[in-house]
Amino acid sequence: MADFNLIGQSFGPQDLVAKITGRAKYAEDFRAEGMLFTKLLVSPMPHARVRSIDYSEALRLPGVVAVLTADEVPQEDHPFEPCLTNEPLYEGEPILAVAAVDETTAADAIELIRVDLEPLPFALNPLDSLRPGGPNATLMGNVYQEREVVELKWPQEVFDAANEPDQMPLGEANDEWEYGDLEAGFANADYIMEETLCCQSVTHHPMEPRTAMAYWQNGKLYMHSSVQSVAQSRRGIADRLGLELDDVILISEYCGGGFGSKIRGSVTEVIPALLARKTGRPVMMRITRAEETAIGRGRPGMLGWARMGFRNDGRMTALDLFLVQDNGPYSRQGDSGTSGDVAALAYTPESMRFRTVRVLTNTPPRAAQRGPGGVQIVSMLEPMVDRAARQIGVDRLQVRLVNAPNAETQFGRGSYELTSCFAGEALSRGAELFNWSERSQRSGQRNGSKVRGVGIALSPYYGGTSGWDGLVVIRPDGKLYIHQGVGNLGTHSCIDTAKAAAEVLNADWANCEVVFGNTSRHLPHSSSQSGSQTTHAHTRANWVVGQAAKGLLQELAALELGGSPSDYDVSGGRVHRIGAPGTGLTFAQAAERAIARGGKFDGHELPEDINDMTRTSATALAGQGLVAAAKDNLPHTARTYSFVATFIEVEVDVETGAFEIIDVTSVADCGTVLNPRSLAAQANGGVIQGIGIARSFKWAIDPTWGVHLSKRIEATKPPAMLDVPTTLTFEAVDLPDPQNPVGSKGIGEPPVGAGAGALLCAVEDALGGLAPSHQPVTPDKILSIVESGSLGWSRLETHV
Amino acid sequence: MELFRRTFNPWNQEILIGVSWTLLYVAIVAGAAFIIGHAIYAGFIAKKEVPPTDEDVRRVAPNAPERVERHTMTSRISHWILAVSVLALLITGFVPVLGLQFPWVTIHWIAGLVLAAYTVFHTAHVVKRRTLGTMWVSRKELGEMWARVKLMAGGHGAEPPKPGKWAIENKAFHHLTMTAGLVVVGTGLLMMLRVDTVFASANPYILSDATWGVMFVLHGIASVVFVGAIMVHIYFALHPEKHWITWSMIRGWISRRDYAWHHDPKRWPVPPKSVPLKGVSPREPSGTPATHHEP
Amino acid sequence: MAVIHDMMPAYELFQPTDVEGAIALLNEHGDGARVLAGGMDTWDWLKDRAKRITALIDLAGIEELREIRATPDGVDIGALVPLTQVERHSQIVQNYSVLADSARHVATPQIRNQGTLGGNVSQDTRCSYYRSGWPCYRAGGNVCYANTPTSLNREHAILGADRCVAVSPSDTAPALIALDAKMVVQNRRGEREIDAANYFIGPGTDIERMTVLKNGDVLTAIRIPNTWSNAQFYFEKVADRKSWDFPLVNVASALRVENGVIQDSRIVVGAVAAKPLRLFRVEEAIAGRPVNEETAAAAGEIAVRGAEPLRLNGYKVPLMRNLVKRAIRGQEA
């Protein structure tokens, strides 16, 4: 493994001081001359059609400048999600926007508007929609068939066959795959278990709602918006408004989190842009928490069923998995499909069948949420695997080790191969750190009303893509400017991945500047800040562009100082002759020479294969220094996955159903560690988010009215300070991935499933294997299970 | 004046939730106005009716017994049960509206059930005794009533004949309260489903908001009608001129004198020997209470 | 007309500097006026436009309401004393620790800095239907959305429901009742003292109010007598989260124990009914009984007699039973 200067060192992110002191400007902190504010009129019904709107009185209110209706915004057929609609598909969906001189006036104007809505049938629980005669969430149908929305109903017999209220009906799926001989797998099993699965939808609730401010200048749109990714969101905005990419300037240097809900910006962010165009004035749309609950996306919940076959040694011989995905009303969500792959990877069953159906519901729109599909399946299956392990008498660590994937594993729908896999190492190291052998002996130990329990979960998740661009400039000021089109949503990867370029150039980090968050600063075509891809994708892209810059420096030095490029090396902010360090050029000199020579040295000639956005940016930078742009063409021949193994010990009070988390230990296989401090923060943050999903985070929608009842963070209950131990242990296996030049893989998502799964397993362990099997495991459910062995209501209820 | 109370349901659709409580005050004022009007009329305008002499009684009702049964024990008991339940319903229903809060719901629905049971019993009773027609108002009675009204208003003409067992005002009151009663009982029974009772857990979703709105309005209107009607009813029960009726509702019978005075024996023939009334001491002096006949 | 939530409307703000001034303002503005203490309950209502006002009477400027005073008979706590101060005040910590304990269990340090004791006990219920502005009984309508065959009523009442099934959300209220505290209420007719247990009212008494306070009334102080000073106290709150959450059930108790035998007690349970319930029957039953598992278990059973759980809150019965048990026995078996 290469010896790195920057990779593997702890750094504080360069925006830390700005964030802590409040100098960092988020979307809603911007003001512009003559700026208006807009407020939204949203649907009070889960599914309705606008019959008429009368906003004449609102327009007469002093201070009101304009009204924007669905008729004035881009519309396409479902599943396209418009920013304003005349057929709201969920409660809280924006119908109309009012722009006024201040927010109070805009809100008061909303109250003067008459909207006549015709209520339409709505579905909240996917099973209700699949019943014969059940409601469809949209006028086109209720399920996704490939990319089309069609109608699918299961015959009554399917529901009758599932006679218990808790038992999952198994009807027709419309997406399935299979490998191995499932029948033989079950026939060869020593132990078979089958169970109903369920997992709740949960809202994203990033700290910063999807606020946006927009204005137009000379035909160009200037947009301050809270987005996860910059280059990709700029594309998103251009697409939604039908603009040329160059006509959109997106400024988003700081984003207060997104968790997947702002990957390409958000549907509603174009509302201020359209109002700004209509009024000729800047328009600010601050999104409130209640609005964010509705438009801010959620994780698809799932109802399902699994059948598992095990040999006596714990090896999984067969897995039959059926998932009904609560898809929300709009775009098709990939979660359940990913769940299938993740299950296949986590347990490498000898044979497997996967079936799913994605059902539309009139609940807030879904989007990827940190570990989409992975969190759901890990949290549903890990406790089930535990129950099986208890039955066959195999240690719960052992059952995971025996089924864990390795570098040779092929898995999932496409028999995918892995670039690397150290899942077993993560499990073993975690067991060692956690002291599993000793702690697992304490399982079920009772002290007064308190019972101990331990749990493990292994959570695999995507760890990166490839093929993006890098763009760096060495300016006459002697600094290396690393341009990043990824977003800065608090994960540090925006900064950390830039180090790959600095690493190649042996640059002093203090002499480097990362340019990000504002497309007018000429950013390259970058990956979206999602799918844990940034670390992998942009260490690659920046490595490649670092190499390109190094090549240019060497070539330049050879031209300027003689010799051949290979006679030169780059370090200490200079390009210098190998063996004669005194002969060379400083970065400042090189930048000036590059400008003087022009052509490929200063960006006037660019590689053929880079993306147009990168080309435009590099062209704009041309002549400002030594400009290097490059596309990541490094080999990427398999799928990159990261793995997190989390171990949790809890103490459950069986008299109250409350529990305390005693210890959380996680070990990750995420390749080479880029920045230990950021990594621990990111991994533990993910584990905590998973713990929150398992123990308290939820949303609640009234089944009769389809109206959201948990519109504040206080009611959605993400984990709070005292819900996790003060110290969480984290370590990385720190073994390099061979298909990444620095050896890194993504880490954003796998910890979430690990945290959720391990906690559920630990709680269930304390209860002697009795499971609430319903997330989150709040005290009411635990106590009900302790008292009567059942929840007292059906586990198949959704949005409870 | 707003006649209805409205609100917006969770879908922001305007729904009816009842009648305006102003109507309650309207009913109280109307009832009070009637009472005051009647009191003034009876006290100062109407000529005092002279009780019939013994001679008159013998002439008009030669064969009538001393005590003429007007209400059987069954109907008296059921009347008083009805009275208690209606009063309980009105108090529990309206006192909180007037501002005095107390846990009224359970008492209200229990009293409502009593009223419902009374309704069923009373209906079964009259059906069984084939007395459904008793309360029928004939065209002739209407004509007589009109003549009486004209006389009261200072007109001239012959005194119309006296009524049979039930005067038209009794019948009118009966029909008014029967209608209002059926409405409150019907809507009230449904409304019981909206709260937890011993019979069922609350389920306000068995009817739509719009249907419930109609239920609330009907219940409210009928209840408000009851307020006025019961005020007037109690007024008459306490009015000295009507004490003979009040007593009959307690004792079951009226005296031969009152029979002859207030009724037309041809229209309400009674058997010569009235059956001794249960619960009444045979030694009790005959005749109506003296107060009735004092000028 | 359309509705909009989560956006503060305009109203007049008044900041009187004495109680009389506040009362005069309340009377002047009548039904449109609302009292503001820490705002932890009020801001939500106003922002959601679920309760409309014309005038907000901010009590923060009234110095006397922010004081804790030792009295010969105990301690007087101004209604606007922040919970943080209640949690830390030496006399309260030493003599009435159940109150300090309960205050510490409220929400978060930030909310306890802002929220006041008077506000905490006078806050409105957290029923999510009611707070969403739905036209339920409590909001002047004629339906309870939380008590239907489909309602989400995990947090709702198991006792004392009357049409409305909302519960009292306060953590400090049970402690105050356990301490026999008096609530000092002032209006233009003068000042009156109300037993803490009678300060709270159920839906049967008035379905639109949680306390006896009517418009024009100001809760000025909470008076703690020394009756229960240094008694054997217990407070426990069970919630979904360990901070920033309302109780699923909480319990506060004060026991006078001599030679292991209970002489007198106060047992109060919160979040099971619209008002914190003082459990008289339990108190009677345990008087003269030894403090042991048996007494505690019997007390728990008596406590939940007559409980009528709703669709999703059956767990509250064992939870209340166990908390009452622990209030007598202590947490460890």
pLDDT, position B274: 52
- Coil, strand, or helix at residue B69? strand
Mean pLDDT of A386-393: 96
**Percentage of chain C surpassing pLDDT 70?**
99
> Which position has the token pair 């301490």?
C179
- Coil, strand, or helix at residue A757? helix
Nearest to B101 among C144, C163, C205 (CB): C205
Nearest to B12 among A44, A702, A704 (CB): A44
Asked if the Cβ–Cβ distance from A449 to C331 is below 8 Å, we say yes
Residue A117: its chain B contacts at CB < 8 A?
11
* pLDDT band with cut points at 50, 70 and 90 for residue B150: confident
Shortest CA gap A798–chain C (Å): 11
Our separate counts of H helices and E strands in chain A read: 23, 32
Is the pLDDT at B286 greater than 60? The verdict is no
C162-C168-C170 Cα angle (round to 5): 170
pLDDT, position B284: 41
Give the B window 33-52 contacts with C, CB below 8 Å.
none
The count of residues in chain B is 295
Cross-strand bridge partners of residue A650: A453, A661
Q: Give which of A499, A490, A519 is closest to A224, Cα–Cα.
A: A519
Asked if the Cβ–Cβ distance from A704 to B205 is below 8 Å, we say yes
B43 and A CB contact within 8 Å: no
Residue A705: its chain B contacts at CB < 8 A?
10-11
Asked if the Cβ–Cβ distance from B103 to C2 is below 8 Å, we say no
Asked if the Cβ–Cβ distance from B196 to C147 is below 8 Å, we say yes
Cα dihedral value A599, A601, A606, A609, nearest 10: 140
Mean pLDDT of B21-40: 93
Q: Which chains are adjacent to chain C, needing at least 3 Cβ pairs under 8 Å? A: A, B
Mean pLDDT of A550-574: 97
Asked if the Cβ–Cβ distance from A705 to B12 is below 8 Å, we say no
Shortest CA gap B116–chain C (Å): 21
Chain segment C55-64, per-residue pLDDT in tens: 999 999 999 9
Asked if the Cβ–Cβ distance from B11 to A702 is below 8 Å, we say no
Residue A778: its chain C contacts at CB < 8 A?
240
pLDDT, position B294: 33
Is the pLDDT at A2 greater than 70? The verdict is no
Residue C152: its chain A contacts at CB < 8 A?
700, 702-703, 709, 800
Provide φ and ψ at A360, rounded to 5°.
-80, 140
Task: Tell which of B11, B13, B203, B212 to mutate to test the A interface (max A CBs under 10 Å).
Answer: B11
Which of the residue ranges A206-215, B94-103, C288-297, C306-315 would you say has the lowest mean pLDDT? Answer: B94-103
- As a whole number, the mean pLDDT across chain C is 96
Nearest to A707 among B10, B13, B205 (CB): B10
- As a whole number, the mean pLDDT across chain A is 96
**Percentage of chain A surpassing pLDDT 90?**
96
Give the B window 197-216 contacts with A, CB below 8 Å.
205
Question: Greater confidence, B170 or B204?
Answer: B204
Which of the residue ranges A308-317, B18-27, C32-41, C102-111 would you say has the lowest mean pLDDT? Answer: B18-27
pLDDT, position B54: 85
pLDDT, position B185: 94
> Which position has the token pair 């857990």?
B201
Chain segment C105-149, per-residue pLDDT in tens: 999 999 999 999 999 999 999 999 999 999 999 999 999 999 999
* pLDDT band with cut points at 50, 70 and 90 for residue C213: very high
A291 and C CB contact within 8 Å: yes
Exposure of B243 by Cβ count < 10 A (0-12 exposed, 13-18 middle, 19+ buried)?
A: middle
Is the pLDDT at C207 greater than 60? The verdict is yes
- As a whole number, the mean pLDDT across chain B is 86
pLDDT, position B273: 63
Shortest CA gap B25–chain C (Å): 19
Which of the residue ranges A747-761, B272-286, C35-49 would you say has the lowest mean pLDDT? Answer: B272-286
Is the pLDDT at B293 greater than 70? The verdict is no
* pLDDT band with cut points at 50, 70 and 90 for residue A254: very high
Q: What is the pTM of this model?
A: 0.94
DSSP letter at B190 equals H
Exposure of C61 by Cβ count < 10 A (0-12 exposed, 13-18 middle, 19+ buried)?
A: middle
Shortest CA gap A74–chain C (Å): 24
Give the A window 640-669 contacts with C, CB below 8 Å.
655-658
Asked if the Cβ–Cβ distance from C148 to B195 is below 8 Å, we say no
* pLDDT band with cut points at 50, 70 and 90 for residue B130: confident
Asked if the Cβ–Cβ distance from C145 to B10 is below 8 Å, we say yes
A535-A540-A545 Cα angle (round to 5): 130
Nearest to C206 among B8, B101, B196 (CB): B101
Which of the residue ranges A754-768, B120-134, C153-167, C265-279 would you say has the lowest mean pLDDT? Answer: B120-134
Mean pLDDT of B24-37: 94
Q: Which chains are adjacent to chain B, needing at least 3 Cβ pairs under 8 Å? A: A, C
pLDDT, position C195: 98
Residue B205: its chain A contacts at CB < 8 A?
704
Element spanning B191, H or E = helix B168-192
* pLDDT band with cut points at 50, 70 and 90 for residue A742: very high
What radius of gyration do chain B's Cα atoms show?
22
For residue B74, count other CB atoms closer than 10 A to its CB.
12
Measured distance CA(B198)–CA(A118) in Å, rounded: 38
Residue A128: its chain C contacts at CB < 8 A?
none
Asked if the Cβ–Cβ distance from A778 to C240 is below 8 Å, we say yes
Check: CB of residue C175 under 8 Å from CB of residue C250. no
Helices (H), B41-167: 54-60, 73-94, 105-128, 139-152
Shortest CA gap B101–chain C (Å): 5
Shortest CA gap B11–chain A (Å): 5
Q: How would you classify the pairing of strands C218-225 and C182-187?
A: antiparallel
Q: Which residue does chain A place closest to B203, by CA atoms?
A: A704
Is the pLDDT at B257 greater than 70? The verdict is yes
Which of the residue ranges A469-483, B81-95, B147-161, C2-16 would you say has the lowest mean pLDDT? Answer: B147-161
Chain segment B223-255, per-residue pLDDT in tens: 999 999 999 999 999 998 889 989 999 999 998
B201 and C CB contact within 8 Å: yes
Chain segment A336-387, per-residue pLDDT in tens: 999 999 999 999 999 999 999 999 999 999 999 999 999 999 999 999 999 9
Shortest CA gap C205–chain B (Å): 4
Measured distance CA(B260)–CA(A565) in Å, rounded: 138
pLDDT, position A108: 97
Mean pLDDT of A142-164: 94
Nearest to A720 among C244, C311, C312 (CB): C244
Chain segment A675-717, per-residue pLDDT in tens: 999 999 999 999 999 999 999 999 999 999 999 999 999 999 9
Chain segment A527-549, per-residue pLDDT in tens: 999 989 999 999 999 999 999 99
Mean pLDDT of A221-227: 97
**Cβ contacts of C187 within 8 Å, gap of 6 or more:** C23, C214, C216, C217, C218
